[in-house]
Each structure stands twice: as structure tokens, then as C-alpha cells.
Amino acid sequence: MAELGKTARHYRKNKRSRAKHSADNGKGGKYAHTKAYKRAHSKARASLKIRKGSSMDASKQPDGSYKAESRKTNRGRGGAQRK
């Protein structure tokens, strides 16, 4: 039988790390959004006429509205990571 790789050995030894890893890689994944969130975001993209594959994002504003904005600018701002 072959030896376990570095990653497999790590997850066998670290219970908390293994639990997080399986949660992140399991069903839903790291960034699971509700169906309602996806519906609202999709509707906003449609109203802003942002097509699939576009380099524009529907950026959510502090007042709850959406605006078409460069993906680079929007994601570079950090969003949830800033909090």
C-alpha cells in the first residue's frame, strides 16, 4: 500500500482542519447563497442588462440598490473581508 501524501496526513492529524475542509468542499461549499439571494441578484443583473460572461458586476450599494460596476473594482474592494 502506498504512503499517504502530505495533505492526507495533515487532515488525519488535525480534526478541526479536517472538519472545515470537508465543510468547504462538501455540498454547498464555501460560498453557499440562498435561492432568494440568487434570484434577487439575477433579477438585478437582468435589469442592469449585464450579460453572462461580461466583465461587469452587479454591485450592491449601501442603500440596497444595485449598480453596474467593473468586476475588478467591485471585488477588489473586499466586501465581506473588510468587516
* Cα atoms in the 13 Å half-sphere on the side-chain side of 78: 3
Please report the pLDDT score of residue 54 as a whole number. 93
Domain ranges of the chain: 35-78
Residues 38-53, mean pLDDT to the nearest whole number:
93
DSSP string, the chain: -PPPPHHHHHHHH-HHHHHHHHHHHSTT-TT---HHHHHHHHHHHHHTTPPTT-SEEEEEPTTS-EEEEEHHHHHHT-GGGG-
Q: Residue 70: pLDDT above 70? A: yes
Q: Residue 9: pLDDT above 90? A: yes
Q: Residue 8: pLDDT above 90? A: yes
Q: Residue 53: pLDDT above 80? A: yes
Mean predicted lDDT score pLDDT of the chain? 88
